[in-house]
Amino acid sequence: MQDVVLKSPVAFAQASKKPVNGQVNGMEIALSFADASVEAAHSETLGICDVSNLSRFGVKGPHAADWLTASNITLPAGTNRWTKLDSGSLVMRLGNTEFLLEDQPENGLCQTLSEANVNESGVHKVIRNDAAFIVSGELTPALFSEVCAIDLNGDALEDNRLVMTVIAGVSATMLKQELNGQSVYRIWCDGTYGPYMWKTLLGIIEELGGGPVGFNFYYKIN
Amino acid sequence: MTGRIAKKRGEWINRDKPLTFEYEGQVVNGYEGDTISSALWAAGIRVLGRSFKYHRARGLLSFANHDVNALMTDGEDTNIRADVWPVSQGMALSAVNTDGGVVKDRNKYIDKLSPFLPVGFYYKTFYKPKSLFPFWEDKIRKAAGLGKVNFNYPRILKPKRYAHCDVLIVGAGASGLSAAVAAAKQGLNVILVDENKQAGGSLTYDFAGDQTTADTLNNLLDEVTSNANIRLITGAYAGGYYTDHLVPIVGVDGITKVRAKTVIVASGVFEQPPVFRYNDLPGVMLGSATQRLINRYAVKPFQKGVVVTANDHGYRTALDMAAVGIEVVAVIDMRRDGAKRDLAEKVTEKGIAVHKGSCIYEVVPASNKMAVKEVVVCHYNEDTAEADPRSAVRLSCDGVAMSAGWAPAAALLYQAGTKMRFDYDVQQFVPDQLPEGVFAAGKVNGVFDLKARLLDGQRAAVEASNYLGNASELITVTNPEMASPSHPYPIVNHPKGKNFVDFDEDIQVKDFINAAKEGFDNIELMKRFTTVGMGPSQGKHSNMNAIRILARIRQLPVEKIGTTTARPFFHPTPIGHLGGRSFHPHRYTAMHQWHVDNGGVMMEAGVWMRPAYYVPAGSHLSASDAVQEEAMAVRQSVGMIDGSTLGKIEVFGQDAAAFLERFYTGKFAGQKVGGSRIAMLLDEAGVMVDDGVAVRMAEDKFYVSTNSSNAATVYREMQRNIQLWGMQVTLVNLTGAMAAMTVAGPASRSVVETLIDIDVSAQGLPDGAYKEGQVAGIDARVMRVSFVSDLAFEIHVPYKAGMHVWQALMAAGKQVGIRAFGTDAQRLLRLEMGHHLVSHDTDGLTNPFEAHSESLVAMDKDFFIGQRSLKIIEKKPLNKKLVTFVLDNGFTGELPKECNLVIENGDIKGRVTSISHSNYLNRIIGFAFVSPEQSKSGSRFQVRTDSGAMVPATVTQAPFFHLLESKGA
Amino acid sequence: MPLGLLKYALSKEHPAPRFFRDCTEPKKSYDAVIIGGGGHGLAAAYYLAKDFGITNVAVLEKGYIGGGNTGRNTTIVRSNYLTPEGVNFYDASVKMYEDLSQELDLNLFYSTRGHFTLAHTDSAMRTMRWRAEVNKHVGVESRVVGPDEISQACPQLDISCSGQAPIQGALYHAPGSVARHDAVAWGYAKEADRMGVEIFQSTEVTGIDVKSGKVVGVNTSKGYIETNRVLSAVAGFTPRITEMVDIETPIVIHPLQACVSEPMKPWLDTILVSGSLHVYVSQSSRGELVMGSSLDPYEMHSTRSSLDFVEGLTSHIVDMFPFLSNVKVVRQWAGMADLTPDFAPIMGKTPVEGFYLDAGWGTWGFKATPISGKTMAETMARDIAPDLIEPFRLTRFEDYELTGEKGAASVGH
Amino acid sequence: MSEFTYGGEYRDMPDPDTCTDKEWAAYVHYRNGAPGLKKEWWYHGPSGTWFIAERDTMTDKISRTYIAGQEEAK
């Protein structure tokens, strides 16, 4: 399936912004929307970036934790928490028995795990189709106050906690991480809601003076 | 600007920004910062509106967002509250609800008719004779309402925001500000909200002739604004209190929904008008209104006024008036003993006469009935609440300030579930038992002395902090010895009435007396019969007096009367704020862009967007032609539909088969790997809920589909039952993760074969069989299905590859004329095949026996959901049966529609649930419920069309393709 | 001006008598006791007295008359139901309402305005046709109309619903009406009282005395009352009463909320309902828009208001009427509704002899007030339920004979 | 979309093999509608979790939540 070019679930919602697209991880993604300086400004004020093309791996079941541990993967401290591996990959524990892993562009952990055989009972691979976003900037509280009922000023996302909540009417998973020295929010939702989520968040982001940011802003791909 | 006085310290107007606007055609000057009312009053304009019922001239009353008689329109918007809405340059305002202008209003004659229109009169007339009621009703409707709505007003949806805090403090007066500072010192995160555009409450106007309170205010404000823990929101009101400390803060720019851990209500009090004849004339207003005019807007309320009072506040008001050069003719104190000596002396020192034990018996209007000429002052007996007209003295004046008492602004406290008690020391309802996490401070808590209010704010803050887990030392507040701020009965009878209690609704004292006489002597019944408190100000100035009047009528103490329920909203709240920005999530399949690019007519199907049919560019097909062509392509060659919206659930685990056996009606334990079975779901009552297909991928793994609209609910119910039954099963909902498409028609195999790496021949993949392979290089799940045609392949691939596979199949099918088909053609195709759709052909009561689905129900299993109910239903005779039918060959009459009834001997026997013309069959076919007696193949029944024509139909077997053979016959 | 009003101007004393006596001390026994002084209970009392001469009747009301759902509903009266038994029942009610002002000698402001149930989807249109066909069959005036006819009746309505849910058509029901809800209770109270019925307010029933399967009396906050016949007409509180006689029912309580706008000059002459948007709206004779929505999604025995409700409702109101963006909601409130599994009432006899049930009124109680009063009075007087309410018997659930109102997914009020 | 969905009262099912038709019909249709503390099913959509909440239907106060079958765990 190497020669197949896949599309980000968000692609058609982005078309009107005429991004420069490119292929990363076998998926066509919006690399940039504007000059680097404009995107940097957005990222600082309020920006949203589609990173649906990052590789992901899902696994679920009563023995999923054991299986991951046996695969030498460090697990988060508890339920609804996440951790970052040395490689930069994120390991998220969604509830108790489900895990979502997400790679950085350069590493292939998810690919390896996807191809690994699972013979144990109680370990089930989960096909994922996430729309995945980075949201950043000083006005993120203003954005989230319009789309999300939980208190993000409190400790909901501190200490590597993640939350599964409703964002703009859609179930989503959310966490806060450091990326390139910047504190950013990460959002994942079902890919079929991706175009809606992108349009809705971007609409508010633009009202607040921010804008879209391309994949290249966070991950320089040559 | 005759009424404007010299610049006041802290005034709210900006004298550097003068502006002009129009009121009722007259050009008026004002300043930025003025409200409409303050600018009009400064310009000497006194008639700001007409009352709702009697069209009496009204001026300014509360000047505190409940002057419901001063509603304006600017041509664009209506019911603009003049007392609080800012003026802006170039506004062109007029009063609402007048006929011919606010001064000349042709409807003012109604006032003369008021003796004919006693309380509740409309219940007693207009209905005899019955035939005349519509005539009267039309007249009543014409008279009803306030402003005219502008049908071209734009749709404005304001953003809605969430906010969170440890303490929400409602009201930024002395006690609220003090509470905020104290709470912030405890390390709490505070939101402090006030509806006025500046914080300070009565500290910004109640000066008693000097401005020392301004220093207190400035100190507090400095502390508040410099503390990062406090977010001060002004110009926004707390709209209501909802469960778990949810309080919407309503501002001009939208609503903020504050979820607080604790709430301190420091919302103060509303001044209450004493009741006497003509207390509604323009120029008669509340004492606090005069103070606000003077000290916030630098406007003289009148040139020569009197104060009628029953508390200290009246004296303070007199001093504030005197300080700006208003001639205060007298302070008329309803109390026998008047005020404390020092306060009385301060007033008399200014040369103001004090009349103790006196009341205003009536106000004498000027000849135009729109202004005050003089007041008639009489001795007042506090015990009998009667004035003595023999003692009448006339005082000439052009205005009256009224300060006789207060009512708590306790709406939020009531909504939170606070139990209130009547405190006779302050003659006010005060909180008795507060709900958890809710606190009250200041005047609303019955604390009026300034020092005590500041302390009461701190006390509430400490209590809130301790509620949140701190352990600070509690503060005790004691009210200093002082006269009651409210008079127990500031109501003066007058034989001629027009002593108004409710200014929204023009309700006079006698209306209450008469309502009680007619049996409406319970506060709630009285409210409903008289409509007191039902107007837009929601009783802010009238409920307390109504309670006092009823208490006196029934000779009961006030607390025995109780209060009416306070409902949200605190102030009327715009629909566009409340509706605001709302979210309408949509789901898009992986192939969405293709559908749009290829003429797909997209329809909402639940949250999904799906093509109903396609009108390819330049084809100009009608909808029905498009559908028939798409269906024909499937019958004659090949078509493809995007089925990604199907619910798709993986069921894993050692109990997977056992679970499905309990969940669905069929058997799965013995199902072969690589085979599929119908999965029909019932509810506990045996009603059909869903049907899908269960594929066994491995011994311990099934892949189950559901109807598109049931995907979420079926998954949810599976999860619940796994928990309930304690089974070793893991579910994965792949509804969004997998794209699905069905390639259907006689040529479908040839299309699929070109792209697939597995054997899909009749032997390799027989009907109902399932295999995994690669389609166009993508890992795929492939199933032989026969829902829309005998030969069809359902292909599931990961979502992100959906478009790729779809396009590959389209390209591969090009040669044989492959056509995308939408949901409409799918409906027709499955109908031709004789497949019913659950919840389209069935309804909320249909059981499997009625829908020819007995074969899917394994009654011999140990258990499945709905089985036990079916065992009961099984014993009962059937009432109806779902059948497939065909209309007579060559039928050309009025086509029956879905839900036209099946009629037999004048009785309803059933209804048509699906009906369609099939070009392929050249017949009209459908599903219908009929009586069991009519359900045999070949039975005839009658369908009644919209117009009443009876159309015969024949029960026939499905699939319908046998009709083609008999076509010639 | 009608001449009748002259007496008020010419008379020094207010010439109107009390609507009903202020009864405080109940007698030792009554021929019948009615629990609940709402429209239904008072109507039952009235028809017991009028139709059957049974006047030794006590109506016991925990609060004040008409203070429950009678005074909290959105006053819509209609009969465009889905099943023949439903349509027949409500049609009888509509016909009684039409003459009720005259019968009770009180203007109930019964105003026939026409009722549109808007359909935004194909499946809603099918349900509209189904209802129209059944209505026509039974002789009730209902028909399916297209967007043009809706626009004609209500030109202000945005047929596209701001693009959110375009209206495809509607079920038009000409007899759809509104009435002054409080007055219905007051009118029945007045006339029942005139015939000798005693109405006790602030009187709570604390227990029902059953001996050998028969009612023998009720315990109240004002003492014990002997009686052989008790009617429970307390929709919103039914489970608390049935618990007293140990009867099982399907009824659960869900709040039903409504709100009202500030008054404006009348412009909305019809009654509009949208099942898909969960909205119903009409404009009262005071000029207020009276707006309601569907039942709250979970069980609650409280009349608290919720912000969710008013946010959801108003967002749909601005879809339908964009120009109302700055019109203000003055007040919201809630009632408690008896909810049944098949969206039909539960009426008639019960396993306890002498205990009768008038319950399960969901969102359809006000419109049934006269006919429920009349049929329950007959049931109590003759100890046999008339045919009209037979389909609503309690035993239908045990018998798996639910009414077909459940067939339609669409809600309506 | 609300995060939480109400799933009705948690009720014990009678043994379908031994109960009478009437008992079963009562289980299917009848409810305990009187106010009080109830065990209820609630579903948290974003995490896909069913749990039991003990809620007072009069005051709307939730006193306890737990996963069905794990009542002792919390």
CATH code of the domain in which C239 resides:
3.50.50.60
CA distances (Å), origin C163, targets B656, C120, D68: 44, 11, 43
The secondary structure of B433-456, three-state, reads ECCCCEEECHHHHCCCCHHHHHHH
Intervals of CATH 3.30.1360.120 along chain A: 8-53+129-211
* The pLDDT of residue C412: 38
Judge whether C83 lies within some domain.
no
The answer to whether the CB atoms of C250 and D29 lie below 8 A apart is yes
Helix-helix angle C181-194:C39-52, to 10 degrees? 30
B911 and B862 in contact (C-beta within 8 Å)? no
Intervals of CATH 3.30.70 along chain A: 56-126
C259 & C398 share domain: no
The answer to whether the CB atoms of D46 and A164 lie below 8 A apart is yes
* Chains C and A lie in contact, requiring 3 or more CB pairs less than 8 Å apart: no
Contact with chain D for residue B733, Cβ under 8 A: yes
The answer to whether the CB atoms of D67 and B685 lie below 8 A apart is no
- CA–CA dist B109, B120 (Å, integer): 20
The answer to whether the CB atoms of B872 and D7 lie below 8 A apart is no
C101-119 b/e (C-beta count within 10 Å ≥ 16 → b): bebbebbbbbbbbbbbbbb
C164 & C219 share domain: no
Judge whether C218 lies within some domain.
yes
Contact with chain B for residue D66, Cβ under 8 A: no
Contact with chain A for residue D73, Cβ under 8 A: no
Superfamily of domain B836-965: Probable tRNA modification gtpase trme; domain 1 (3.30.1360.120)
List, in sequence order, the alpha helices (H) in B670-822. 711-725, 748-753, 802-813
Contact with chain B for residue D5, Cβ under 8 A: yes
The mean per-residue pLDDT over the stretch A74-91 comes to: 94
* Chains C and D lie in contact, requiring 3 or more CB pairs less than 8 Å apart: yes
The answer to whether the CB atoms of A164 and D1 lie below 8 A apart is no
Q: Which residue has the tokens 């007995």?
A: B854
In the structure encoding, which two tokens stand for residue A162, read together? 């993640």
The answer to whether the CB atoms of C66 and B528 lie below 8 A apart is yes
Contact with chain C for residue B685, Cβ under 8 A: yes
C209 & C274 share domain: no
In the structure encoding, which two tokens stand for residue C307, read together? 């912000």
Mark the ranges of chain B whose per-residue pLDDT is less than 50.
Answer: 1, 968-969
The answer to whether the CB atoms of C4 and B124 lie below 8 A apart is yes
B-contacting residues of C 209-248, CB under 8 Å?
none
Contact with chain A for residue D74, Cβ under 8 A: no
C330 & C276 share domain: yes
Interface with chain C: mutation pick from B53, B65, B76, B123, highest number of C CBs within 10 Å: B123
Q: Give the right CATH number for A56-126 from 3.30.1050, 1.20.1740, 3.30.70, 3.40.50.
A: 3.30.70
CB pairs under 8 A between A and D: 23
C232 & C156 share domain: no
C239 & C366 share domain: yes
List, in sequence order, the alpha helices (H) in C199-261. 238-244
Interface with chain B: mutation pick from D15, D24, D52, highest number of B CBs within 10 Å: D24
Q: Which long-range contacts (CB under 8 A, 24 or more apart) does C218-224 make?
A: C218/C33, C218/C35, C218/C60, C220/C26, C220/C60, C222/C24, C222/C25, C222/C26, C223/C26
In the structure encoding, which two tokens stand for residue A92, read together? 């998220």
A168 and A147 in contact (C-beta within 8 Å)? yes
Task: Sketch the domain layout of chain B as residue ranges.
Answer: 1-152, 160-270+407-467, 273-404, 499-565, 602-644+737-830, 647-733, 836-965
Contact with chain A for residue D3, Cβ under 8 A: yes
Find chain C residues with C-beta within 8 A of B578's C-beta.
310-311, 314-315, 329
Query: DSSP labels for B342-396?
Result: HHHHHHHHTT-EEETTEEEEEEEEPTTSSSEEEEEEEEEETTTTEEEEEEEEEEE
C-contacting residues of B 232-251, CB under 8 Å?
240, 242-243, 246, 248
| pLDDT of D56 higher than 80 | yes
Q: Does domain B499-565 have CATH number 1.10.10?
A: yes
Task: Sketch the domain layout of chain D as residue ranges.
Answer: 4-73
The answer to whether the CB atoms of A129 and B736 lie below 8 A apart is yes
* The pLDDT of residue C23: 93
* Chains D and A lie in contact, requiring 3 or more CB pairs less than 8 Å apart: yes
- CA–CA dist C265, C263 (Å, integer): 7
What pLDDT band is residue D50 in, cutting at 50, 70 and 90? very high
Give CATH for domain B1-152. 3.10.20.440
Q: Which of A6, A169, A192 sits opposite B588 (nearest CB)?
A: A192
Mark the ranges of chain C whose per-residue pLDDT is less than 70.
Answer: 1-12, 15, 407-413
- In chain B, whose CA is at the least distance from the CA of C105? B124
- CA–CA dist B852, B834 (Å, integer): 11
The answer to whether the CB atoms of D47 and A172 lie below 8 A apart is no
C267 & C141 share domain: yes
C332 & C256 share domain: yes
The answer to whether the CB atoms of C398 and D60 lie below 8 A apart is no
Opening angle at CA B558, ends B552 and B564, nearest 5: 105
What pLDDT band is residue A1 in, cutting at 50, 70 and 90? very low
The pTM of the whole model exceeds 0.90: yes
Which contiguous run of DSSP H or E holds residue B771?
Answer: strand B770-775
Q: Could you give phi then psi for residue B612, rounded to 5 degrees?
A: -75, -40
Task: Measure D73 CA to nearest chain A CA, in Å.
Answer: 14
Amino acid at C337: A
C-alpha dihedral sign at A111, A114, A119, A120: positive
The answer to whether the CB atoms of A95 and D48 lie below 8 A apart is yes
Give CATH for domain B602-644+737-830. 3.30.1360.120
* The pLDDT of residue C195: 98
Judge whether C40 lies within some domain.
yes
Superfamily of domain A8-53+129-211: Probable tRNA modification gtpase trme; domain 1 (3.30.1360.120)
Q: Which residue has the tokens 């009026």?
A: B448
In the structure encoding, which two tokens stand for residue B938, read together? 């070949």
C272 & C134 share domain: yes
In the structure encoding, which two tokens stand for residue B173, read together? 């007066």
- CA–CA dist B757, A1 (Å, integer): 13
Q: What is the CA radius of gyration of chain B?
A: 39
Tell me the residue range of the domain where C129 lies.
112-175+252-339
Find chain C residues with C-beta within 8 A of B839's C-beta.
409
Q: Which of D25, D35, D60 sits opposite C397 (nearest CB)?
A: D25
Q: What average pLDDT is seen over chain A? A: 93
- CA–CA dist B858, C297 (Å, integer): 34
B647-733, CATH topology level: Alpha-Beta Plaits (3.30.70)
Task: Measure D3 CA to nearest chain A CA, in Å.
Answer: 6
B273-404, CATH topology level: FAD/NAD(P)-binding domain (3.50.50)
Amino acid at D13: M
Amino acid at B780: A
Find chain A residues with C-beta within 8 A of B608's C-beta.
192
Q: Does domain D4-73 have CATH number 3.30.2270.10?
A: yes
The answer to whether the CB atoms of D16 and B868 lie below 8 A apart is yes
- In chain D, whose CA is at the least distance from the CA of B862? D17
Helix (H, G, I), strand (E, B) or coil at D15: coil
Opening angle at CA A146, ends A142 and A152, nearest 5: 60
In the structure encoding, which two tokens stand for residue B40, read together? 């009009």
Query: DSSP labels for A52-118?
Result: TTS-EEEEESTTHHHHHHHTT-PPPSSTTBEEE-TTS-EEEEETTTEEEEE--TT--HHHHHHHS--
The answer to whether the CB atoms of B872 and D21 lie below 8 A apart is yes
B379, B505, B723: which is closest to B54 by C-alpha?
A: B505
Interface with chain D: mutation pick from B723, B724, B732, highest number of D CBs within 10 Å: B723
Find chain B residues with C-beta within 8 A of D16's C-beta.
863, 867-868
